[in-house]
Amino acid sequence: MKSQATDGPQAPGQASIKTRRFSVSLVWIVPIVAVLVGISLVVHSLMQEGPTIVVTFKTGSGLTANKTEVKYRNVVIGQVSDVELSNDQKSVDATIKLSKQAETFTREDSQFWVVRPRIGAGGVSGIDTLLSGDYIGADIGHADRRSKNFKGLENPPPITYGEPGKRFTLHSQDLGSLDIGSPVYYRKIPVGQVVAYALDADGKGVNLEVFIHAPNDTYVTENTRFWNASGIDLNIGANGFAVKTESLSSLLVGGIAFLAPQYSPNDQPATEEKTYELFDDQTTALAPPNGKAQYLSLRFDQALRGLKVDAPVEFLGMEIGKVVAINLDFDEKKRSFPVNVGIVIYPQRLGQAHTKMIKALMHDPNDEAAGVRLMGTFIENGLRAQARSGNLLTGQLYISLDFYPKAEKVAFDPNDRPVSIPTIPGSLEQLQEKLEAMVNKINQLPVERIASNLDSNLVELRKGLAQFNAKTLPGVQTTLADVSKTLNSASSTLAEDSPQREQLTQTLDELKRMSRSLRELSDYLGRHPESLIRGRPENAAPSDLQGPPRN
């Protein structure tokens, strides 16, 4: 056995040590580098990946996994990765992967909706999706809290992308023809739109939210009045027809207009979220303040066809209120059906007259008992209510309050609430009563008996005239002829220049004229026997008195 060779002599008492070198083959370098690059790419991808959210829609119309994009200001910020039914199967959950830069869209009040072609009050939108397909629109929120679950909107919000301006709330009795997107006008220029509406908490009205774009939002002041500008405002007056409308858009989809009264001292721009009343028309909106309302009751015994709720109430020709209720009643004593009418008046509308009346009578408008006593004084002086015709074409009625000093006195009860105002029949009813009384008197006349007697008298008259023409008149004519002959004989015996001859000639002429007159009278009575009763008419033609020529 050979001894192991050594490089040199070993030191006494020292063991030998063996060493190995670690070496890596070049074959393994490439896989290692690939793994490192893959890990870096995964880490980079994870670092660049945005948040994932879930948006719930009612339907999945227009949503396709790995195809439908999410856009903000027409820039892609994410994509739908999955679409599936919700757990209760009543909606659709769309899972959206947002980009890293869209992380702020996870704010709690962010909004998402499906953009597709739509036609609404605000116009036509989403036309570009006809070629590119539907996509999800997004609007960033402002809340500090974050969320991963959102409820999608069924319609796009009218205001997006944080546009500058102010929001205001309008209160109305009903929505009318307004809708989300209906324009808001200032001096007939569109400056905003309706963005939302909802019922009151008690369900007795509607609250509308409008948005006015900057810088026009400064024109909404503390004294600004809003009114419904939808449709056409048609007025018929002494000067003819007057038609008003804000625009063709408001005629089709409705609209709202606003303006401050001409005299608005110390008017300041309104703060955001201020609440206003929405009036029905411009005239009502810009009218002076009505002041304290006073409710009165009226009772009519005649029919009131044509009287409607909201019909005007006038005092000496000035409109001071309106009709608020019309109800049919039953009177047990008279067994009749009177009509109870409730009205509301605003005495402050009388303006300067109301101010002077309060000052002269030292009346306190806030004292209800004093107001009742004042109304009782007016009733004692002849204050009455009357239903009058306001339009002969349509038959509409209105209530008129006026003083009638000769009206029948009526007992006033100050304990009645509301105060009852006595009424008098309308002018048309009074005219109908007079005509009816006249017709009744005419009906009571013995017209048939009078006509029968008149006919019998005319028959007797005709008989008398016939006898006069047949017997009396020929005898008279014969006598006149004989007299004429006698006179002619006497004339021949008289000298031509004697006075007796001239007188005789005149007598003969008179007899001829009398004979002709009798003949004409006979002929006229034969044609007009009724003239013996009525007399000869003034406009009778001269020819009527001239009979046919006789030989």
- Encode pLDDT of 428-475 as tens digits: 555 666 666 677 777 777 777 777 777 777 777 777 777 777 777 777
Q: Report if residue 40 sits inside a domain.
A: no
* Tokens 């017209």 sit on residue: 447
Q: E strands, 307-413, where? A: 312-315, 318-328, 339-345, 383-389, 397-403
CB atoms under 10 Å from CB of 181, counted, come to 19
- For 80-146, give the secondary structure using H, E and C: EEEEEECCCCCCEEEEEEEEHHHHHHHECCCEEEEECCEEECCEEECCCHHHHCCEEEEECCCCCCE
d(CA 401, CA 297): 12
Lowest mean pLDDT among 87-101, 233-247, 359-373: 233-247
Per residue in 276-305, pLDDT (tens digit) is: 999 988 888 888 777 788 888 999 888 888
Task: Please report the pLDDT score of residue 230 as a whole number.
Answer: 73
Lowest mean pLDDT among 6-20, 142-156, 389-403, 410-424: 6-20
Chain-wide mean pLDDT for the chain? 79
Whether the predicted pLDDT of 59 surpasses 80: yes
Q: Report if residue 11 sits inside a domain.
A: no
d(CA 325, CA 346): 16
| Residues 373 and 389 occupy one common structural domain | yes
Model confidence band, residue 34 (pLDDT cutoffs 50, 70, 90) = confident
| Residues 298 and 435 occupy one common structural domain | yes
- Residue 486 CA, chain-centre distance (Å), reads 100
Q: Which domain holds residue 279?
A: 165-285
| Residues 417 and 318 occupy one common structural domain | yes
Give me the amino acid identity at 441: K
Q: Report if residue 38 sits inside a domain.
A: no
Q: Report if residue 464 sits inside a domain.
A: yes
Is the alpha carbon torsion for 365, 368, 370, 374 positive or negative? Answer: positive
Task: Please report the pLDDT score of residue 354 as a whole number.
Answer: 79
Task: Please report the pLDDT score of residue 545 as a whole number.
Answer: 47
Give me the amino acid identity at 387: A
Lowest mean pLDDT among 133-147, 265-279, 394-408: 394-408
| Residues 268 and 311 occupy one common structural domain | no
| Residues 316 and 426 occupy one common structural domain | yes
Mean pLDDT over 400-419 rounds to: 84
- Residue 375 CA, chain-centre distance (Å), reads 33
Task: Please report the pLDDT score of residue 26 as a whole number.
Answer: 66
Per residue in 309-362, pLDDT (tens digit) is: 989 999 888 888 899 999 988 888 888 889 999 999 888 888 788 788 888 877
Per residue in 180-227, pLDDT (tens digit) is: 888 999 998 999 999 889 998 888 899 999 999 999 999 999 999 999
Model confidence band, residue 275 (pLDDT cutoffs 50, 70, 90) = very high
Lowest mean pLDDT among 21-25, 180-184, 543-547: 543-547
Number of structural domains (the chain) is 4
Residues 385 and 421 sit within 8 Å (Cβ to Cβ):
yes
Q: Which of 413, 440, 467 is the last residue of a domain?
A: 440
Q: Which of 254, 285, 316 is the last residue of a domain?
A: 285
Whether the predicted pLDDT of 393 surpasses 90: no
